[in-house]
Amino acid sequence: MGTNRLIAMLPDMAVFALVAERGSFSAVARQLGMTPSAISRQVARLEAALGVRLLERSTRQLRLTDAGQATLARCRSMLDAADEAVQQAQQQYARPQGRVRISMPKAFGRFVVAPLLPAFLARYPQVDVELFISDRDVDPLADGLDLTVRVTDTPPPGMAGRPLLPVRQLLCASPHYLAMHGRPAHPRDLAQHQCLYLAEHEADKRWQLQRGKEQLTVAVTGRYATNHSELRLEGVLAHLGIAPLPHFTAQAALDAGQIETVLDDWEFTTAYRGMAWLLYPPNRYLPPKVRVLIDYLADALADHTTPMTR
């Protein structure tokens, strides 16, 4: 018998098992919200499909045939297996367990999320985390990801999301560099300094800055360029010049007095700024393993509703 025919018979087998156990079409009809005649037709349809008589019917009672007894045992096993599957699925949904795959930009993962994960893993011992760091825009479905972080002011359509924290770029230099070369008083002064830029595109050497409604672009030069913010930080610490750094990359060195910010009243707007969004498919039935990580990261970063200060 083909799979399609077997699937079509499953509801009739379930109804037959109930009728055999309760001994009444009417009792099963009341339980399922159907009519007794509809229940009788389902049992008759099953008998026709199997080519055997399962029930002896009389005006007072129903009695199982030998074939009915054997069939009932298998139908009851089917219902028990279905019940077990439901319970297993509900247990899986009731407690967080399993693997969560999450991707995010390199610096954000290194400085913001990775330090939070040991405490998460300790809190949820049955949840594993696979953290992928990449600055490319990933496709959650194609890449088999549960969650992604993207820094943007406009989250992509078709995705649900939670805002984590705003990302701001700070222009930084070491005290030694500033003592040797002076502190820029205006963005135009950057043209006279060594600047560490991203070097991914030619436009990366044209820095855009904004102060209120005032916007301007400055062409910068420098002997060292890298598209990794942690390496730019190392360049700043080595007194190589002025570099834009995400606030979370710069904060520890700022707190230690190893670097300083410049042009504090101007906002660097060239790249990698905006809100960091935690994105996931718009599914109201998110697995608990995913839900708890979303809530954990959102709660852990709730105090950072504004960027860290200079």
Lowest-pLDDT range of 16-20, 235-239, 287-291, 299-303:
299-303
Amino acid at 139: D
Q: How confident is the model at residue 118 (pLDDT cuts 50, 70, 90)?
A: very high
Residues 6+ apart with CB under 8 A from 240: 177, 194, 196, 222, 223, 224
Mean of the pLDDT values across residues 92-101?
Answer: 82
pLDDT number for residue 92: 62
- Phi and psi at residue 305, to the nearest 5°: -70, -15
pTM: 0.66
pLDDT number for residue 230: 92
Mean of the pLDDT values across residues 45-61?
Answer: 89
Average model confidence (pLDDT) across the chain: 89
Q: List domains and CATH numbers for the chain.
A: 3-93 (1.10.10.10), 98-168+274-303 (3.40.190.10), 169-269 (3.40.190.10)
* 182-208 pLDDT per residue, tens: 999 999 999 999 999 988 888 889 999
Lowest-pLDDT range of 63-77, 79-93, 114-128:
79-93
pLDDT number for residue 208: 94
Q: Using CA atoms, how far apart are residues 249 and 229, in angstroms rounded to an integer?
A: 7
* 229-260 pLDDT per residue, tens: 999 999 999 999 999 999 999 999 999 999 99
Is the pLDDT at 307 greater than 50? The verdict is no
